[in-house]
Amino acid sequence: MAADSRIADLLSEGMKALAAAGIGAPAHEARMLLGMAAKVPLAVMIGFPERSVDEAAAAAYRALIARRADREPVSHLVGEREFWSLPFMVSRDVLDPRPDSEAVIEAVLEALPDRARGLRLLDLGVGSGCLLLTLLRELPAAVGVGVDISQVALAMAQRNALRLQVADRATFHLGNWMDALPADAGKFDLIVSNPPYIRSEEIATLEPEVTRHEPRLALDGGMDGLDAYRKLASVLAQHLAPNGLVALEIGIGQAESVTALMTAAGLVPAGMRLDLARRERCLLFRLDLI
Ligand SMILES: C[S@@+](CC[C@H](N)C(=O)[O-])C[C@H]1O[C@@H](n2cnc3c(N)ncnc32)[C@H](O)[C@@H]1O
């Protein structure tokens, strides 16, 4: 079996399996997975493809190839995904942090006049923790509460809080949006949320990495994608401090409908942020104090 473990053979075998599974860049991914499993540097793969790796490394590589051919996201194989240049642990229990969600962080930081203030933050649907924990890193005097209806997602957010060294300023509650909060939770200076906003029937049309390996709970926004915004609109104002800010991530084409829902519930639009593809991605609201 030694011949099977030649770098060139392993790469060719892996590349074929990934190409057959519809992976867009099979050669690149096969090299990356061989690097991960066998710690073979790229220069060796290219310069000395006739060299062999030991059987344990070859088996680890083949296991990774099989998982990737099943369209498991690369982030799940690696166990982490970068967001705002911070490493977030991820798994099939949480939505992978998306670069587009950095628009929420940018919008919030730009809107806050004094980042050194002791703000109270709330993240509804905290998932991996990417929004709440990034904000806690950027706002050193802030404290934050993360809510999620998924126990396993909350466990991941807690692990990420520890790893990112903000666990002493973060608390987590399990439950349905605001119902999860204790009675004495008080008001928040900043409420962020990236709720599930994909139309139910659209989910089946997304990439297999999403439909088969990310939690449906994190994706499904109901028939028109707006179920969670409707629910949030009815409860945001009562939990917002007088000068507080709400920052909502939205899906493509949802700006008008979400703005209508929030204004009908007594909030006023306070800004908008585009994502990397220049689509409306984050809406800001404040209380209508008049
Ligand atoms: C789109 S994900 C966002 C995760 C993370 N905040 C992010 O930006 O990557 C939505 C999150 O909302 C949570 N969620 C869905 N329904 C919920 C509910 N009724 N109450 C609280 N959390 C909910 C999901 O479990 C999921 O973690």
Ligand 1 neighbourhood includes 157 CB (under 6 angstroms) = no
Residue 14 Cα to ligand 1 midpoint, Å, equals: 35
147 and 114 fall within a common domain: yes
Residue 53 Cα to ligand 1 midpoint, Å, equals: 42
187 and 219 fall within a common domain: yes
- Choosing from 46, 70, 94, the residue where a domain stops is 70
Residues 245, 111 contacting (CB under 8 angstroms): yes
Q: How far apart are CA 98 and CA 127, in angstroms?
A: 12
Average the pLDDT over each of 2-6, 32-36, 49-53 and give the range with the smallest value: 2-6
16 and 117 fall within a common domain: no
Question: In 3D, which of 249, 212, 204 has the Cα closest to residue 228?
Answer: 249
Q: Whose CA is nearest to atom 24 of ligand 1?
A: 218
Confidence class for position 290, pLDDT limits 50, 70, 90: low
Ligand 1 neighbourhood includes 268 CB (under 6 angstroms) = no
66 and 82 fall within a common domain: no
Q: How far apart are CA 168 and CA 171, in angstroms?
A: 8
Q: Does pLDDT of 89 surpass 70?
A: yes
Confidence class for position 4, pLDDT limits 50, 70, 90: low
56 and 84 fall within a common domain: no
128 and 219 fall within a common domain: yes
- Choosing from 70, 89, 115, the residue where a domain stops is 70
Best of 150, 203, 206 for a ligand 1 pocket test (most atoms within 8 Å of beta carbon): 150
129 and 193 fall within a common domain: yes
Number of domains in the chain: 2
Q: How far apart are CA 71 and CA 36, in angstroms?
A: 17
165 and 84 fall within a common domain: yes
172-192: per-residue pLDDT in tens? 999 999 999 999 999 999 999
Distances (CA, A) of 146 to 57, 130, 158, 180, 226: 40, 11, 9, 10, 21
Ligand 1 neighbourhood includes 196 CB (under 6 angstroms) = yes
Range of the domain at 159: 78-287
115-146: per-residue pLDDT in tens? 999 999 999 999 999 999 999 999 999 999 99
CATH number of the domain enclosing 83:
3.40.50.150
132 and 179 fall within a common domain: yes
User: Residue 131 class from Cβ within 10 Å (0-12 exposed, 13-18 middle, 19+ buried)?
Assistant: buried
| DSSP E strands, 80-177 | 80-83, 86-89, 120-124, 143-148, 170-174
- Choosing from 70, 87, 106, the residue where a domain stops is 70
20 and 104 fall within a common domain: no
90 and 180 fall within a common domain: yes
Average pLDDT over residues 74-95: 97
Q: How far apart are CA 251 and CA 226, in angstroms?
A: 9
Q: How far apart are CA 233 and CA 160, in angstroms?
A: 29
Residue 92 Cα to ligand 1 midpoint, Å, equals: 13
